[in-house]
Structure 1
Amino acid sequence: MGTLLEPLGWVHPREREHKAVYRAYLFGPFRVFRGGEALGQRSQRREKAQLLLKWFLLNPGQPRSIDELIDLAFPAAAPDKATSSFHVAMHCLRRMLEPDLRPGEESSYIRRSSNNFYRFEADDQWWTDTAEVDRLFDQGRMSDSRGDAQRACFYYGQVVGHMNRRLLEDDNTDEQWLAPYRRRYQALHREALLRLVQIHGERGQIDESLEYAHQMLIDDPYNELAVITIVEADLAHGRVAHARHRISTFLDDLTHDLGIAPSHDLLTLNTRVRQDLTHPPRSEAQRALATTSSRAS
């Protein structure tokens, strides 16, 4: 069995998380910790500070004007009141992150320029699950491009593991500002699942491929590759009745709900299922669809 150890300097993803002074979790309910202490007890003032922190964590190093941040946090307030409330929230945020800051002392993380632009500088004391997902996905894609299937599956699996909850699922503000971030991470999640199904299927690791195929259907109930993978497994185990019911239901849903025609590969598999041809060369349709899906990605 191969090893997942990298050359000197490689650190397991969980080790980076546990060594960080600040840990922020944006998938699922929003949580931030300094050491073992949870930051940001609920109050109206702290909720606005947390809203600003969410934006900063999703956009590290990116400067934004005071007007843009006010529009985010206080969109309905009168201009004078909004500006005053913004400065109160920023003061609260600085103290939340660094309670020992002295009056007038510069924050280590929230930087303000002379022209009233703000940015968040996360150093190596910070760990966020969103930044970790970005890094892991890049590592998975790099390993994938090198043909290192084992390591690619490791990194893609880590991505999927972090993203088992919706981004900022407890956010009660207007979700419009969050929509682009949610779409972006949903796309990463789907691509990681797609490659996990494909790679494990190509390696003959049926149980692993099935696991991720079922997860794909939860995320995308009209995913043909996921259904082909599951139906192929039903046929391989002699569950012809299950295979017939699953593909028949899927074809009906695909036609009635989306109004689109099924692919040639899905129709070919449906013919096999109806004729009970359970022992053709395995995964021919799956490989063809995997190639098509990979090009589309």
Structure 2
Amino acid sequence: MTERHAGDQEGVRHTRATDAESHRFQARFFGPFHVSRDGAPLNDAAELGRTSARTLLKWFLLNPGIRVGSLELCELLWPVRRSRSNPNRLHVTLHYLRHLLEPDLAARQPSTFIRSDGKGLYWFDFADSWWTDVRAAERLLAAGKDADTKGDVETAITSYELVLDYYRRTFLPENLFDEAFDSSRTAYDVAHRDVESRLLRLYLVRGQIHKALPIALSVLERDPYSEEASTAIAEVNLRQGNVLAARTQFARYLETIRRELGADPSGSALRLWERIQRAG
């Protein structure tokens, strides 16, 4: 590894560690939702205990700057309870959340974060005070793709590994069945699969088969038809000299896709099969 590449990797890790600390507010979505202000948690029942306030804050933090009407917010917070009282309940929830985030907010003083145009549209402004793990993961993913494109494999691997650290914790596990966050969850599930695919490819390029195998097994657990994962496992076994295991893995994959999908493997997969046959 070159000195420059080692420095780039260290820079990626250092940025991750210090960026969160430089912001007054921190919010984590991967793993149980957690918010802190000045290092103190805001998740206690006495503070962020109202379900509607928690849901609204989550949505705002995931959609900063997006203007949304009061009716849409009511639908978000109380989808099965359509009532004339909902606008009043929304007003109470917004008031509660404003003062939770800024306890010293004076009467009629506008919130720094929860903004309104006075005509029923609301949006959230980070005001350079918020760090969230979802945005950190997005920046790391972008950095990994950029390094990947430039051929800086080691920095790309470091960035992807850090992203995967987030994704493995599960996005909002307490809201698995909450439709309000379905689109975000789907996006991160897709990104999770993409990062695993990128890491798997780079691990094999670098010959890091001890890291490639668990990634391939993880992919295969979610998608038993994945040619990429199946061939990677066969490739790892072949490189380790376990020809029988490689042949068994590939034969199982062939049987699965032909019987259940009526499909044939790609040309590159068939070339791997030929290598396995010659090795045996």
TM range (shorter): 0.7 to 0.9
Q: Quick check: 1:235–1:243 contact (8 Å CA) kept in 2?
A: yes
**Cα deviation digits, residues 50-95 of structure 1 (max 9, x gap):** 1011111111111111111111001233442111111111122112
Q: Pairwise mapping of residues 140-289 of structure 1 onto structure 2 (< 5 A)?
A: 140-171=144-175, 174-175=178-179, 177-273=180-276, 275=277, 277=279
| Residue 32 (structure 1) aligned with residue 35 (structure 2) | yes
Equivalent in 14, 18, 21 of residue 18 of structure 1: 21
Structure-1 residue corresponding to 2:104: 100
Aligned to 1:63: 67
The residue type paired with residue 159 of structure 2 is Y
Give 1:238's aligned amino acid.
G
Aligned-pair Cα RMSD in Å: 2.5
Q: How do residues 70-89 of structure 1 correspond to structure 2 at under 5 angstroms?
A: 70-89=74-93
- Higher normalized helix content (fraction of residues): 2
CA distance in 1, matches of 2:215, 2:178: 32
Taking structure 2 as the reference length, the TM-score comes to: 0.87
Task: Work out the CA distance in 1 between the residues paired with 2:211 and 2:33.
Answer: 30
AA at the equivalent of 2:135: A
CA 1:126–1:4 in structure 2 vs 1: closer, same or farther (change >3 Å)?
Answer: farther
Compared CA separation, residues 20 and 257, structure 1 to 2 (3 A): farther
Task: Report the CA distance shift for 1:68/1:248 in structure 2 as closer, same or farther (over 3 A).
Answer: same
Give 5+ residue unaligned stretches, structure 2. none
Displaced runs of 4+ in structure 1, greater than 4 A?
A: 256-259
> Matched residues in 2 for 1:242 and 1:83: separation?
63
Stretch of structure 1 that moved more, 236-245 or 110-119: 236-245
Uncovered stretches (5+) of structure 1, i.e. residues with no partner = 279-297
Cα distance in 1, alignment partners of residues 261 and 170 from structure 2: 24
CA distance, structure 1, for counterparts of residue 114 and residue 224 of structure 2 = 42
**% identical equivalent positions:** 34
